[in-house]
Amino acid sequence: MNVLIVVFSPAGSTLKVAGLLERRLVDRGHAVQLLNITGRREIFADGRQQEFLAEQVKAHDVICLGSPVYEKHVEYYMREFIKGLPRPDAIWGRWAVPFFTYGGISSGVALSQAHKLLEAGGRQVLAAMKIESAHLRAKKLKTCVNAGLPGDEALPYIDELAGRIAACADSQPAGLSRRVLNYQGFREKFISALLNERFMHRHKYGKLTIDRERCVACSRCVAACPIQRIEWAAGKPNMDGRLPECIHCLACVNACPLEAISFVNGQAGWAAIERVYARVAREGSLVRSNEQPRNAVYPLVRPSV
Ligand SMILES: Cc1cc2nc3c(=O)[nH]c(=O)nc-3n(C[C@H](O)[C@H](O)[C@H](O)COP(=O)(O)O)c2cc1C
Ligand code: SF4
Ligand code: SF4
């Protein structure tokens, strides 16, 4: 069987899971194409998703789509990417497998949202997976929620998912019902419905800026931005003007060797994030979410550990 794994992973956790899934499928004798779209200029800066996919993607039976959970939803750019996928045909398989990593606050409604988007694009969802991972890391943040995750505890789930995908080659499974992914309680669904990722990025998170005095024009931040929103203009990086909306992944901040990128409001921006993370680290969650089990493959069968 041919499997395509497409992954968007600003901080690398989802990519790690995708790599492990690839290895397990290859071990089972399947042909796997792993396509990491993080930072692909053609998609995020040039708006050439269709041409890029036509050039890159090989014929497959199953497409697996990996992304982080942002604001309890499918990360915004991944959502747009899924909407822009070609419908199933001789190249594009009709089976889909969404998988997410989330930072231990809540996987929110990401899986059911992905199911809806994939079904709208003419696909049937075969299985789905969520894996708890490290939350946002930055040199300037003292707290790291879930440091070191995903680790070995994720392996049985990835094995289980690979087994479900492999089984699809021998049988004609019924598609997964969206109801199965509707696992959050009323409160969590209500909060998710109120959370608008664009609004949060525009108005709630601090705006990032480059300190021109410190910047030595090494261009590492440009290469690190997963949505290619930092332009290289006249020998300098630029993150102002009419660029795609920042997703506050802090990849540019982490890539900068001279700490030249920070919040416009300086220390207050960092302190605001630190407060939230310290609370998550202390209490396990920001607001109580029904996140049990923490890792899962749906339909729910607990893999033997
Ligand atoms: C802007 C932003 C929003 C996030 N929102 C959530 C969230 O709602 N729930 C959660 O548990 N983790 C959240 N996270 C944490 C990520 O889902 C988690 O770190 C994920 O594993 C990152 O995947 P990556 O390493 O592939 O980028 C958020 C992270 C960022 C940067
Ligand atoms: S500008 Fe920085 S924080 Fe914003 S999306 Fe790009 S890398 Fe992430
Ligand atoms: S990584 Fe830092 S020093 Fe290098 S170009 Fe970007 S802002 Fe300037």
Please spell the DSSP secondary structure of 74-104, one letter per residue: E-HHHHHHHHTSPPSSSSS-SEEEEEEEE-S
Q: Where in the chain is the domain with CATH 3.30.70.20?
A: 197-283
- Pocket lining: 135 vs ligand 1, CB cutoff 6 Å: yes
Best residue among 37, 136, 201, 294 to mutate for probing ligand 1, ranked by most atoms within 8 Å of CB = 136
Classified as helix, coil or strand, 120 is helix
C-alpha 237 to ligand 3 mean position (Å): 7
Domain 2-189 fold is Rossmann fold (3.40.50)
C-alpha 228 to ligand 3 mean position (Å): 14
- Pocket lining: 166 vs ligand 3, CB cutoff 6 Å: no
Tell which CATH classification among 3.40.50.2300, 3.40.47.10, 3.30.930.10, 3.30.70.20 matches the domain 197-283.
3.30.70.20
Ligand 2, atom 2, residue with closest C-alpha = 252
* Proximal ligand: closest to the CA of 255: 3
* Proximal ligand: closest to the CA of 228: 2
Decide if 102 contacts 273 (C-beta within 8 A): no
C-alpha 122 to ligand 2 mean position (Å): 32
Using CB atoms within 10 A of its CB, is residue 218 exposed (0-12), middle (13-18) or buried (19+)? middle
Model confidence pLDDT, tens digit, residues 125-159: 999 999 999 988 787 888 788 889 999 999 999 99
Task: Give this complex's ipTM.
Answer: 0.98
CA of 226, closest atom in ligand 1: 27
Between vectors from CA 66 to CA 207 and to CA 26, what angle results, nearest 5°?
145
Model confidence pLDDT, tens digit, residues 178-236: 999 999 988 888 888 888 887 878 877 788 999 999 999 999 999 999 999 999 999 99
Model confidence pLDDT, tens digit, residues 256-276: 999 999 988 888 888 888 887
Ligand 1, atom 2, residue with closest C-alpha = 70
- Pocket lining: 39 vs ligand 1, CB cutoff 6 Å: no
- Pocket lining: 200 vs ligand 3, CB cutoff 6 Å: no
DSSP H helices, the chain, are: 13-27, 41-44, 49-56, 76-83, 110-120, 155-167, 186-194, 197-199, 220-224, 251-255, 267-283
273 versus 63: the higher-pLDDT residue is: 63
C-alpha 77 to ligand 2 mean position (Å): 13
Using CB atoms within 10 A of its CB, is residue 185 exposed (0-12), middle (13-18) or buried (19+)? exposed
- For residues 45 and 259, give the distance between their C-alpha atoms in angstroms, rounded to a whole number: 25
The mean pLDDT of 68-86, rounded to a whole number, is: 95
Tell me how crowded residue 169 is: count the other CB atoms within 10 A of its CB.
Answer: 14
Q: Where in the chain is the domain with CATH 3.40.50.360?
A: 2-189
